[in-house]
Amino acid sequence: MGRRVLVLGAGGQLGMALVQKFQGAYEVMEAVHRGPKPGRPLVDLADAAGTLRLLDRLAPDWILIAGAYCNVDGCESEAELCRRVNVEGPRSVARWARGRGAIVVFYSTDHVFDGSLASASEESPVHPLNRYAQSKVEGEQAVREELPESHLILRTSSLYGPDQARKNFVLRLADRLVAGGTVRVASDQWGSPTATSDVAGATRFLLEKDRTGTFHAVGPDFLSRIDFAHRICASFGLDARRVIAVPTEELHQPARRPLRVRLGTRKLSAAGAEPFSNVELGLAALKGRP
């Protein structure tokens, strides 16, 4: 099958999509943060020594870092752990890859920007507003420094897809409404909901085309979080009246959020990647899946 592809964080929603997209065409190896079993060893990006031992044993050609500390508010109170996972872990992976001719893919976030730009390109200056976003900025830089010619960075936004832990916004909202609860959703936060399957497809496309550098990889819709919630309700047949719109300040979130970050995707389109699904198509594909 040629290249050996290692997915770090294969148990998460993005990792699952990556495994599915690469399986069959490549020798795919999975490493997970929880629930290890034969064929799916444990990986903890905060443990550099353990991660390096895993890389030595598996000797991958392409390393997809789908694992991360993604709890935005948790990063505020666990700043050191956040940095170890999101910065030092990827740095160790990239340093290992540098001496072995491997390619590293690092997944970042639209929140590296503060929302002051009408549309941010890959070259726009970053300005993170919270510790999570800052760790992603530093993680990007660490990978670039270690692998200046052999890295791929994909910035994305509001990921959703099949998720065993049901942690993404779509599935958490659906679960709470099905259970009879109400959900307060920010009315003034805007972004581009993105299906994990599309990010996985773009990853494979770019790697197969030997493309490197930074790309923005987000869905085509730019909408408010409350509008997204209403579309979820429409797709899943849920009662939108139990979704309560509130301004961000009333949510009292520990981490400051940028309110309107829009990523320009001309670079990815110019590379020839397939267009991403709009929200309606993405939600239709997710409906009824685990």
Mind listing the pLDDT tens digit for each residue in 238-290?
999 999 999 999 999 999 999 999 999 999 999 999 999 999 999 999 976 54
* Mean pLDDT (whole number) for 163-175: 93
pLDDT tens-digit profile of 9-60? Answer: 999 999 999 999 999 999 999 999 987 778 889 999 999 999 999 999 999 9
What pTM value is reported for the model? Answer: 0.96
Average pLDDT, the chain: 95
d(CA 71, CA 74): 5
Model confidence at 115, pLDDT cuts 50, 70, 90, reads very high
Domain ranges of the chain: 4-157+195-219+263-276
pLDDT value, residue 288: 60
The burial of 152, by beta-carbon neighbours within 10 Å (0-12 exposed, 13-18 middle, 19 or more buried), is given as buried
What's domain 4-157+195-219+263-276's superfamily in CATH?
NAD(P)-binding Rossmann-like Domain (3.40.50.720)
pLDDT tens-digit profile of 128-166? Answer: 999 999 999 999 999 999 999 999 999 999 999 999 889
Cβ atoms of residues 41 and 11 within 8 Å: no
Q: Is the pLDDT of residue 99 over 60?
A: yes
